[in-house]
Chains A and B, each alone.
Chain A
Amino acid sequence: MLSEIQNLNRDELLLEVTDLKKYFAIRRGTIRRSKGLVKAVDGVNLFVKKGETLGLVGESGCGKTTTGRTILRLLEPTGGEIKFNDPEMGWVNLEKLDRKGLSAVRPHMQIIFQDPFSSLDPRMTVERIIAEPLAINKVARGEQLHDRITELLRTVGMRPEYRSRYPHAFSGGQRQRIGIARALALNPTLIICDEPVSALDVSIQAQVLNLLEDLQRDLALTYIFVAHDLSVVEHISDRVAVMYVGRLVELAATDKLYYSPKHPYTEALMSAVPKPDPRRRDRPIKLPGEVASPANPPSGCYFHPRCRYVKDICSKETPPLIEVEPLHFSACHFATELKLRGVMG
């Protein structure tokens, strides 16, 4: 994919994912024989520029979380390439690294989880939670470790006196700040934010989103922001990738994707977002049926059974992700012909 793209300087990139696949075997019976495959991620291509936020959206089960975790190799990829532009080592192929190689790269790639209640060990104090990555990587100890934790807590807007408390003493928003402090401990360049605000109350969401934006500016961070809330994604992302049943269907700059989408699925998603304006009540585009199962996907374009522009070719051939306009990618046979509605209708 990347080789075909003009006007893209490879030095500006931080991550390049080519044909990424992650299949899970469905095992049944007493001997756990494999009865088929769930193709959770099935040939994802994307790139992330240094210092940007790439939003990754789609319905539950579309593979967005799996994509994020496979990029970090928290899950072993079934196939494909993950190239990471390490600030010290330069371009490395993550999928080829062994344990030792990975532990050298890992400090630069971190993750923030959705659920601030289950992602912090209830039996560890805040201090130990944040110290863990520093200790494992032998970055700091003693006085230095103590100071680093103080600094990190201040960075995420928490009082350093709280260091000896346990997670249960904090609210959801504060716990998410602890999770962010832990992710920041090793000065990463890339952070995968996996639904970081969806478990939080609206007013707290704003605080955490603002914090993430401040940190990005101050620490030159790059985010992959996995979320299903399209208003949050529009607010925080520079570019957005839309997934459907394990595949990328559209990838473009946020405004392009929201205002002039090039894939019928994106159009339907945009029309389904409830707009916070009582004077704009449009009925959303109806999507018949349910999301296809990644264990038994339809033929051709996975979206064709629900698409209102479907033609014969859609059920026969899988549309590749192509560059429709400069840096605007869509996997639809009719991407250039269709006149699709954006979020403003």
Chain B
Amino acid sequence: MNQTSGSVSESTVSIFPSEDIILKVRDLHTYFFTDIGVARALNGVNFDIPRGKVMGMVGESGCGKSVTALSIMRMVARPGKIVKGDITMFRKKKGADGKEPAEEINLTKLEGMGPVMRSLRGAEMSMIFQEPMTSLNPSYTIGDQIMEAIILHQKVDEVEAEKRAVTILDGVGMANPKLVVKRYPHELSGGMRQRAMISLALSCTPSVLFADEPTTALDVTTEAQILDVMRDLQARINMTIVFITHNLGVVAQMCDYVSVMYLGRIVEQATVDDTFYNPKHPYTSSLLSSIPHVGTSQKERLMPIRGVVPDPYSKINGCPFHPRCDQAIPGTCDVYMPGLTKVGESHTVRCFLHSDAVEESNAQ
């Protein structure tokens, strides 16, 4: 078997030409040091995010989707800590013609709450959360909250900031934006709150937007409106969106690429078409067959994934999915950790069914 070291070789991880990459994540480990033990939320996440595309991140609760986003944003709060790995951002100057070489910034080397990180958060990368009610401040108006970010990053006065806030709200399809800036979050409906949240995240036209389950709390009709807004914005300002969700319908409709996570690792990365029509990892296939597909008139039984996600405190030998996998190879999958392997032009997978590459497992 081919042995690759803990830090995987570049050629197997990278499925995009290097000039298209905006964020590069290598061997990222984020642990939570809690009273009952160390929860290994991320166990070596390796992936690239292509510029101007929508990357979906899917997986069951607790697989590390949100922690990946928070780690990149450097917003992991205690007792969580990035213990290992590199996150590199390739920043291009705004307004430049795009041909200039990008500036390379190693985010893991920066102070999480330091000045550089603070200048990047909000301006270069931004995040929207699942629950707009808990992520907006109830004691400030919508306008105040959007203007705060604008004033902080763009050095304009209040009058100009309010003007820009109204323009942004209008851009996300908010009715009566001039009135809404004076409103408090509790005065808005769920859909309007999520639009306000998106406006806040977009106030400084970030190059990367992390959308963490942005439509999960919404009704389908409102969800459709919000997805529409995000698609338009993405096309208009060529924003990179990392779309975290467990709704595979939303993934199919929104994303260009998909990263499937399981227990703190990316187990498969592919184009959205390959993910749905040519999945390689048994976990990806099981996820797809466990959901009812609308419009197929299917009445056959759903195929749930056996068992439950193991808790992040436990230690599993070999491939972390093997106890739930129907195709696990005894003596291999329960002993060795599969390495990330290229199985197509932009398709990587971590599974012994497709390659015998072993990752010399660290820590776990």
Contact = CB atoms under 8 A, between A and B. Distances in A.
A206 B175 contact: no
Interface in A197-213: 201-207, 209-210, 213
Interface in B216-261: 219-225, 227-228, 246-255
A206 B290 contact: yes
Given A275-B253, A277-B276, A278-B273, A231 B291 contact: yes
A230 interface: yes
A278 to B, nearest CB: 4
A35 interface: no
A152 B303 CA distance: 24
Contacts of B78: none
Contact of A209 (B175, B273, B302): B302
B287 A281 contact: no
Contacts of A281: 252-253
Contacts of B297: 234, 255, 258-259
Given A60-B190, A202-B246, A210-B304, A231 B294 contact: yes
A284 interface: yes
Contacts of B61: 201
B360 interface: no
Contacts, number: 133
B249 A210 contact: no
Contact of B298 (A171, A206, A235, A273): A235
B304 A203 contact: yes
Interface string A267-287: 011011111111111011011
A260 B309 CA distance: 40
B311 to A, nearest CB: 10
A157 to B, nearest CB: 11
Contact of B60 (A203, A278, A283): A203
A234 B298 CA distance: 9
B233 to A, nearest CB: 15
B249 A207 contact: no
B219 A231 contact: no
A92 interface: no
A87 to B, nearest CB: 27
A255 B250 CA distance: 23
A46 interface: no
Given A255-B297, A276-B248, A290-B191, A231 B272 contact: no
A232 B294 CA distance: 8
A274 B292 contact: no
B220 A202 contact: no
A274 B249 contact: yes
Nearest to B290: A206
B363 interface: no
A195 to B, nearest CB: 13
B9 to A, nearest CB: 30
Contacts of A173: 308
Interface residues of B, number: 50
B299 interface: yes
Contacts of A206: 290-291, 302-305
Contacts of B191: 290
A73 interface: no
Count chain B CB atoms within 10 A of each CB in A206, A232, A255 and give the residue with the most.
A206
Contacts of A273: 220, 249, 294-295
A124 B44 CA distance: 41
Contacts of A230: 220, 294
A202 B219 contact: no
A286 B276 contact: no
B26 to A, nearest CB: 28
A19 interface: no
A86 interface: no
B324 to A, nearest CB: 9
Contacts of B248: 202, 276
B295 A275 contact: yes
B292 A204 contact: no
B109 interface: no
Given A201-B60, A202-B287, A274 B253 contact: yes
B223 A272 contact: yes
A344 B287 CA distance: 22
B327 interface: no
B301 A213 contact: yes
Contacts of B315: none
B299 A235 contact: yes
Interface string B280-294: 000000111011111
Given A274-B223, A278-B273, A204 B247 contact: no
B246 A201 contact: yes
Given A204-B308, A274-B247, A275-B295, A228 B60 contact: no
B134 interface: no
A115 interface: no
Contacts of A283: 228
Given A171-B308, A259-B297, 17 more contacts: A59-B219, A59-B220, A201-B60, A202-B291, A203-B290, A204-B308, A206-B302, A230-B294, A273-B295, A274-B227, A274-B247, A275-B253, A276-B251, A276-B288, A281-B252, A284-B224, A343-B294
6 contacts: A231-B293, A232-B292, A258-B297, A274-B253, A275-B252, A275-B294
